[in-house]
Structure 1
Amino acid sequence: MTPARHHRAWRLLLDDLDHAATQIDRILTDPVEPGTEAARERDTALWPYLTAWAEHEYIVSDLAEQHRLPAPPSPSADTQREGTARAQDARQRGDLDPFESWYDAEGRLITLAYLIEDDVSTVLALAGDLDSHAWQVLGQYDNEYAAGQASPPPVPPGVLRPDSSRYHRRVPTPEVTLQELIGDIVEARHSGDVADVLLTATQDAGYAPGPLARMGELISTAAQFAEATETRQGHRTGARLSVIAQQLRLLTGELRQAGEELSAAVGVLPPHRAPRPRFLTAPATPALTTTPPLTGPAPYGRTTTAPRR
């Protein structure tokens, strides 16, 4: 493969997987009785080496794909310039539709895109960031399969955080869901109860950050990912997400102030907001022009009649 800055990191990972395989073989050499303490200790010792392979084996398989048959020769410089100009015009018109991208061994961003000309769709293989002025057409093909086979093969994609691992995530802290917080507000009677809910939702530090803090972390992490793609569109989207994260921080501060205001207000819901009966229907309130109904039998020897109108 053509030398590139990521090759050293790959070699280190391959050496690491080789070490893990050696340790797995060593640990499994001595048989142990299933269900015993020795078996549990063996599984504990195996776990970090097995998870290393589970997480990084795709690098080995992806690199093996680099040894497939060489791609057909590139078109001439004149043909390539003409095709690139047509493709750039099509992108300006909205007739170029990217649908897949990857990096090749040389570190080039390769993109496959549908090109629509005269109501006929073909597939272009492109090299470079489509939001810059330095991208070019590598070839034009009848379908996706042909384009993929003729294009430089993909190499393993990168990671956002080199030390992250799906198998070594920290133990999640107990969190209150938004549905629970909404339920607490619905069931509240005093403004202090609602204030507590808002302060819980906006909690941004301590053992259990609130949902808004988690949302802010989500948006900021998405911004980091967009920036890490190292494309113009990625930088634009990352900046947009960073602005959204800042707006959320301002909104969180506003909500905390509103919660403090509710707490200081010492409000309570008025009693006319009574619960609705679960099973019975409340009797209709009689109109003022009607005769009130009898509430019991008339006294002995007396009759009750409605007054004449």
Structure 2
Amino acid sequence: MRPPGAPIPDTPPLTPSDLATGARNFRLKMAVLTLRAERALNATRDRYGRTVLPEAAATARALRAREAIAEYRSHLAPHAEELLGAAHLAIDERTPARHASGWRSVLYDLASSASTIRHALDHPAAPGSATEREQHQDLWPHLAAWADHGYIAADLAEQHRRPGVPLTGDELLDWTDRAQAAQRRDELELIESWYAADGKPITLAYLHEDDDSTVVALSGDPDAPGWHVLGHYADEYAAGQALPPPVPPGVFKPDASRFNRPEQAPETTLQELLRDIHEARSAGDVSETLLTVAQHGYEAGPMVRLHELLRTAGKFAAALETVQGRQIGGRLTALSRQLDFLTQEVHEAAEELGETVAVLPPYRIPHTRSREQPAVNTTPAVPPPRTSTPARHR
């Protein structure tokens, strides 16, 4: 027990990992409360995604901001500046790379957001007032910025681990030859990849030889000439400890935000469109449905959205800057062009169908609902279970 009057011992300084944990916990909490808020916002929209209860939507957003401020105060407010300082120090200690200036720009933006949030926490508005709601609304973009990009500061702060010595000389040539031979036999199984601070890619792989398997690290693109083996390890954990730690991966769309997404355009689901065709009686009814499917513009139809998805996925694959990425990106781009042509065909067919002004012949008689309903005290048939192929997450 501490004697009366004795000085209180100094609290030990937080390690870079401790600081990083605070940022990651904040992002996790933000993901949970954002999902909860999105469910509440969905209840304020109609079937097409349009907001029909604006007051309830405003209340849901206000609650989201209030909870986010509480999580920031708990996980980041005490040490945000210290975390950013550790991240800057990590950049200073590493070999200069072209992405370093971009990281610094993100860290400066996070520091500005932290300052804005700190000022609001030190000068809170009256609880429950309109001013408080406005203050919280103004803080949301800054809270979202930390949730979106705080991982960069966290990952950089943990760049203090020194990697082991890579293979050299004859040992390097021997292991590289063995790995390349295994690749030709299709027995080099890739596990995961990352970029080191110097901008060079590293890939972990299982090297299968006879009945044995060894974890090896590759430097360079495994599908391009010139890659070599950095080292071999007992397991994946040992490899992670010996290799240069990963730096934050890049982003595809720099202004995209998981936590501050714009409101989506209204859209009709394919199930609803298919139901419209099932319930149709005239060619005009189906023509309108097909025109909706192939519609361009703000309220684009499913075929146009799918074309956009394939085209964007193709650009993403090409942005990986690997041999396989460029090849797959080309395939996806070609598929998007085919779909664009198909969309035009559907639009023309829809117009021609509408011009027929035809209706279904009268012998197609509807069935009454009573025929399809299950008998009393019986249980409707259970749908078959969903089956899926297990996917390996990397």
Scaled by the length of structure 2, the TM-score of the pair is: 0.69
1:235 maps to: 326
* 1:274 equivalenced with 2:357 (yes/no): no
Matched ranges for 1:49-198 at <5 A: 49-68=142-161, 70-198=162-290
User: Aligned residues: percent identity?
Assistant: 52
Which protein has the larger Cα radius of gyration, Structure 1 or Structure 2?
Answer: 1
1:119 maps to a residue whose letter is: D
Q: Secondary structure at the match of 1:172?
A: coil
Aligned equivalents of 1:83, 1:219: Cα separation in 2: 39
Q: Secondary structure at the match of 1:66?
A: coil
* 1:18 equivalenced with 2:111 (yes/no): yes
Q: Secondary structure at the match of 1:234?
A: helix
Aligned equivalents of 2:169, 2:263: Cα separation in 1: 56
1:213 maps to: 304
1:39–1:76 CA distance, 2 compared to 1 (3 A): same
* 1:5 equivalenced with 2:5 (yes/no): no
What displacement does 1:213 show?
0.7
1:276–1:147 CA distance, 2 compared to 1 (3 A): same
Aligned equivalents of 1:277, 1:26: Cα separation in 2: 67
Match of 2:349 among 251, 258, 261: 258
Aligned equivalents of 1:265, 1:35: Cα separation in 2: 62
Runs of 4+ in structure 1 off by over 4 angstroms are none
* 1:200 equivalenced with 2:200 (yes/no): no
Task: Encode CA deviations 1:17-56: one digit per residue, 9 max, x unaligned.
Answer: 1121111111221133321112112212222221111111
1:34 maps to: 127
Task: Encode CA deviations 1:246-303: one digit per residue, 9 max, x unaligned.
Answer: 000011111112112211222211111101233369xxxxxxxxxxxxxxxxxxxxxx
Relative contact order, CA 8 A, sep 6+: which one is greater? 2
- Tell me how many residue pairs correspond in the alignment: 279
What displacement does 1:76 show?
2.1
Q: Which has the higher helix share?
A: 2
2:87 maps to: none
Match of 2:317 among 200, 222, 226: 226
Aligned equivalents of 2:133, 2:334: Cα separation in 1: 49
Aligned-residue RMSD, C-alpha: 1.4
- Structure 2: segments with no counterpart, 5+ residues: 1-93, 373-394
1:125 maps to a residue whose letter is: A
Match of 2:335 among 244, 249, 272: 244
Aligned equivalents of 1:29, 1:38: Cα separation in 2: 15
2:73 maps to: none
Scaled by the length of structure 1, the TM-score of the pair is: 0.87
- Structure 1: segments with no counterpart, 5+ residues: 282-309
